[in-house]
Amino acid sequence: MNLSIFIAKRYFFSGKKKSFINLISIISMVVVATGTMALIIALSVFNGLEGLLRGLYSTVDPNIVIMPLQGKSFYYDQELKAKLEKIEGIEIITEVSEDNALIRYKDAQRVVRVKGVGDNFAKQGRLDKAIVQGRGDLKVDDINYAIIGRGIQYDLSVNPSNDFYALQIYYPRKDINPNALNPDKMLNVQHILAGGVFAIEKYYDENFVYVPIEFAEALFEQDGKRTSLELKADGSKSNEDLKEAITNIIGEEYKVLTNTEIHGDLYRILSTEKFFVFLVFSIIIAIASINIFFSLTMLVIDKKKDVAVLNALGASTKLVRDIFLFEGALVAFTGAFIGLALGLVVCFAQQTFGIISMGMQSAIMDAYPIKVELMDTVYTVLLIILIAFVSSVRPAIKASNEVNTGMLQ
């Protein structure tokens, strides 16, 4: 600020006020345009990332999940089944039994999330587009197969086409004898062939193994218990309306989640980050608007004689104030319009041509995802309107006050 004042004084006393004021106005427009463009691009990138995650998770997540409110599992009896089958909007009910277990293939081993699903899981088609090797059948001619994530395949060097080596899955027994000397007696061991490999997203790829529900039930010794029910909607109701209907019928002893609520924490984090990005860029644009305030203040000083003439001709203080408000709005809106146009052009180019790539061969997408939303544009425009008003109102009031006090000559 001291440097700006020094330069302003130098131009003021050298008779170059007009060119300096114009220069400041141009700089103000450039700064507002740059900030607006950066804000639109940053918000669109967050929208693209959120859309990408929703698209990825929608391929594997059910529309509705029913879980026990307390404990890890519950009995899926005929009474509960009858209640759910009466609810309109439910197309498929898939029984699920899942837990952590140790998986071993040849000499390699690791802990994974074994997810046993019912026979109608394939009808939901949630893994159809994600199979990258082998096939997506969990059972063929009474032979059980496992579908494993690509990260698990890489860690264990699993070859789905090799039927001579099966996956060994270990899970602690419920009736462990503390005096048992043989550790193998403390574990349930089940063998299953790897039939296919899926690739969705890093978390799923490195943790999940899908198996038939009967296989998981025997491994976990659950005796008819289920850890969750995954529901596919028929599209006649929204997921929120369907959730409300299910909750009203089955009671509050179950936790019902929509596919958005399953990863609600992740989406909330993205929304929070997006808000703070908007806040930071707003502060930057607001700080840049000091140039608008500075140029208008100098304009008030420079146009004293012109305003005096207007006052002599009968111009009201409101007219003088509106002139300076319009000048500030003109600078801000011109910069905002240019920045908005440039930001939209950059977003369109990224969407169409993928100019900026992820830079990783293992990335889900080659280029950064980006998506422009109307409300982001509206909020940006409203922000510029607010900044333009705040930056212009003080110089405008000063000019009108000088008219009232007769200080303009």
Is residue 256 very low, low, confident or very high in pLDDT (cuts 50, 70, 90)?
very high
* Highest mean pLDDT, choosing among 28-32, 194-198, 323-327: 194-198
pLDDT at 244: 93
Residue closest to 17 by CA, chosen among 291, 309, 294, 299? 299
Provide the total of helices (H) and of strands (E) in the chain, helices listed first. 14, 13
Instruction: For residues 274 and 373, state if they share a domain.
Output: yes
Is residue 305 very low, low, confident or very high in pLDDT (cuts 50, 70, 90)?
confident
Instruction: For residues 232 and 304, state if they share a domain.
Output: no
The number of folded domains in the chain is 2
pLDDT at 364: 62
**Confidence check: pLDDT of 1 > 60:** no
Instruction: For residues 207 and 309, state if they share a domain.
Output: no
Instruction: For residues 304 and 233, state if they share a domain.
Output: no
- State percent of the chain over pLDDT 90: 41
The domain boundary residue, chosen from 224, 245, 261: 261
Instruction: For residues 198 and 332, state if they share a domain.
Output: no
Q: Which residue range is the domain that position 27 belongs to?
A: 2-57+266-405
CA dihedral angle for residue 325, residue 327, residue 333, residue 339, rounded to 10 degrees: -140
Residue closest to 376 by CA, chosen among 347, 333, 334? 347
Q: Is the pTM of this model over 0.95?
A: no
Instruction: For residues 215 and 351, state if they share a domain.
Output: no
Q: 39 and 380 in contact (C-beta within 8 Å)?
A: yes
CA distance 396 to 328: 9
What's the mean pLDDT in 379-387? 84
Query: CA dist 301 to 21, 315, 322, Å?
Result: 11, 18, 16
Query: pLDDT tens for residues 366-380?
Result: 778 899 999 998 888
What's the mean pLDDT in 68-89? 91
Instruction: For residues 44 and 77, state if they share a domain.
Output: no
The domain boundary residue, chosen from 193, 228, 261: 261
Instruction: For residues 321 and 223, state if they share a domain.
Output: no
Instruction: For residues 15 and 126, state if they share a domain.
Output: no
Instruction: For residues 321 and 377, state if they share a domain.
Output: yes
**26 CB-near residues (< 8 Å, 6+ apart):** none
Query: pLDDT tens for residues 108-119?
Result: 999 999 999 999
**Confidence check: pLDDT of 160 > 70:** yes
**Token pair of 95 as six digits:** 């029984």
Average pLDDT score over the chain: 83
Instruction: For residues 23 and 70, state if they share a domain.
Output: no
What's the mean pLDDT in 254-263? 91
**Token pair of 110 as six digits:** 């690791």
Instruction: For residues 196 and 113, state if they share a domain.
Output: yes
Query: CA dist 109 to 105, 191, 368, Å?
Result: 6, 14, 35
The domain boundary residue, chosen from 235, 261, 287: 261
What's the mean pLDDT in 187-205? 92
CA distance 183 to 180: 7
Is residue 101 very low, low, confident or very high in pLDDT (cuts 50, 70, 90)?
very high
Q: 357 and 256 in contact (C-beta within 8 Å)?
A: no
**Confidence check: pLDDT of 224 > 80:** yes
pLDDT at 402: 61
